[in-house]
A and B are shown apart, each in its own frame.
Chain A
């Protein structure tokens, strides 16, 4: 090695790092401390996650327990009411029939239940945090770097503490999905509110609006297109995360993909993958069409 070090002394050649011994000690202390802490509060953690568990299980039983043709009609009705587009409804119907035909109906329903819960939680968390960030520059300065970490940290890395805290199962998977799917909701809520026309905000102030009146009458309605993009992004992110979530015990399409990866089942992998893509496209189109429909007032009429 000396040749690559231009004959310099060891301290200049190797990066001066902690010794292996102290590094090992550091890791052990943090890991053990964390584990002990989790063990100490395990009852509280269980209690806190129980409602989530219940919600997730109920929805999953509902989705998988309902006869397939009833679910199919319900999903198509939801898509139709959101988009009012025959094209999107027919496309969704065809995709769902194909999924069922290839024997993936039940797994798809499990995944849908998971995505529905994750999206709802992400909206419920993301909307108020986004509003807070939009209202205060200081809050924004604190929240934005956290979001950057949430979105760039490899999801496998934060799966580790999630598993340590919550164990293996649906809830930790759900939490991992929510961590990944909430940032776009927060970001787009913040952006949407900040981009509302300054003059309209001034008008709200000039007529004596309270902050609450301003939020409900002006900021949220005018930010709605951006908020809908946030919801759309949240759904897409949740669907993208189901494979990773299956690594900690979430069932459904993601689990099949994971099996296919481990066993090199080419056909199984692609069938499940395409099922995810089909659901993603259907939901994306339906939610975007819904967002556009809410903006009907922007259309110009011809007299």
Chain B
């Protein structure tokens, strides 16, 4: 093998995305007179100072991000980071102190109560951490809840709900009450309720955080499978980086009300912007997150393309298996999204990529 510069890699060829939700310079201050302190906070007043001197608490500071349409965006942060607050700005459950939340060119923060109600009925659906099901309604009646509110007759809404109940794996449980179901099954009802609403935007507030690890993995799979069919703009809140990396096309990391880093999962794992993110990323299983497109190198001139061809989206773990099984070769060709040969990787590159660089 020729001694090529190991640091030299090709830039990953990214998918082009359209912003579905654009958040612009969003500030949220909690307290009796938040508007008085916006300009001070803009000029750099700290959270502590605001709290100590003026008894207001800073929820979000200067949040600007584009969440891609038809993709899963994950907002990640620890408790108190403002992630649930940010999510509630998207459907107007919380109004910003300053800034805009643009969806289809319309600012959610400026909608009248009627417009906001119509927007929530038709454009968004939400899944909650503790399920928030109606205990006096059966699974089926819970699933049609959103359509009930829209005024759709039960005859047609029941049919839609039935389809989603089956899709989330609750066939046969339609007439049970929530209290008669396990946590995982209750959240399936929550998911079916949100999907039956058939809104383009799906907001999920720590939807799987209250579930056991195995059931959580299961639900993530259900969500990813469904997303392949429906391609909704999903905003998913979590405090778990593994979950964020598994689900998120885009990840926004919040810390104390500010964006710490945002980007693709791989980008964040490979190039953490600061110590805070670095500390998070340290424990991540890179083999399952980093993909070949991020470590591919240009083909050394004078050599042929290796026989083993792997798509750029292959995880390092997957690539390692393929390289091990490949007869004779420790090199593979990495394909671009359009299927053409783009670069090469060796077993060494894959192994090095899987080890954390701390």
Contacts and interface: CB of A to CB of B under 8 A. Distances in A.
A297 B145 contact: no
A208 B177 contact: no
Interface string A169-210: 000000000000000000000000000010110110111111
A197 B130 CA distance: 10
Contacts of B150: 208
Given A203-B126, A206-B93, A297 B136 contact: yes
Contacts of A298: 135, 177, 179
B33 interface: no
Contacts of B122: 208
B130 A199 contact: yes
B149 A203 contact: no
Nearest to A214: B149
B120 A217 contact: no
A206 B136 contact: no
Given A200-B134, A222-B135, 19 more contacts: A203-B126, A205-B120, A206-B120, A206-B203, A207-B125, A207-B126, A207-B149, A207-B197, A208-B120, A208-B146, A209-B149, A217-B134, A217-B149, A221-B136, A222-B134, A297-B138, A299-B179, A299-B180, A300-B179
A34 B310 CA distance: 96
Interface string A265-300: 000000000000000000000000000000001111
B132 A203 contact: yes
13 contacts: A202-B128, A203-B132, A206-B91, A206-B120, A207-B120, A207-B121, A208-B122, A213-B149, A217-B134, A222-B136, A297-B136, A297-B179, A301-B176
Contacts of B179: 297-300
A197 B134 CA distance: 10
Contacts of A218: 134
Contacts of A207: 120-121, 125-126, 145-146, 149, 197
A299 B148 CA distance: 25
B117 A208 contact: yes
Nearest to A209: B149
A94 B120 CA distance: 57
B333 interface: no
B135 A297 contact: yes
B124 interface: yes
Contacts of B133: 200
B171 to A, nearest CB: 15
The 10 A-B residue pairs with the shortest CB-CB distance in the complex, in nearest-first order: A208-B121, A208-B120, A203-B132, A297-B177, A206-B126, A199-B132, A208-B117, A301-B180, A207-B146, A221-B136
B351 interface: no
B117 A300 contact: no
Contacts of A300: 179-180
A2 B130 CA distance: 73
B93 A205 contact: yes
A10 B124 CA distance: 78
A200 B132 contact: yes
B200 to A, nearest CB: 14
Q: Which among A203, A209, A300 has the highest number of chain B CB atoms within 10 Å?
A: A203
Interface in B113-127: 116-122, 124-126
A222 B145 CA distance: 15
Q: Which among B91, B126, B128, B134 has the highest number of chain A CB atoms within 10 Å?
A: B134
Contacts of B119: 208
Given A299-B179, A301-B176, A301-B180, A206 B135 contact: no
A197 B133 CA distance: 10
A205 B120 CA distance: 8
Nearest to A294: B136
B193 to A, nearest CB: 8
A158 to B, nearest CB: 39
A213 B134 CA distance: 13
A222 B134 CA distance: 8
A201 B97 CA distance: 23
Contacts of A199: 128-130, 132
Interface string A211-224: 00100011001101
Contacts of B121: 207-208
A37 B116 CA distance: 51
Contact of B128 (A203, A213, A224, A299): A203
A301 B120 CA distance: 35
B197 to A, nearest CB: 7
Interface in B129-160: 129-130, 132-138, 145-146, 148-150
Q: Which among B120, B136, B177, B179 has the highest number of chain A CB atoms within 10 Å?
A: B136
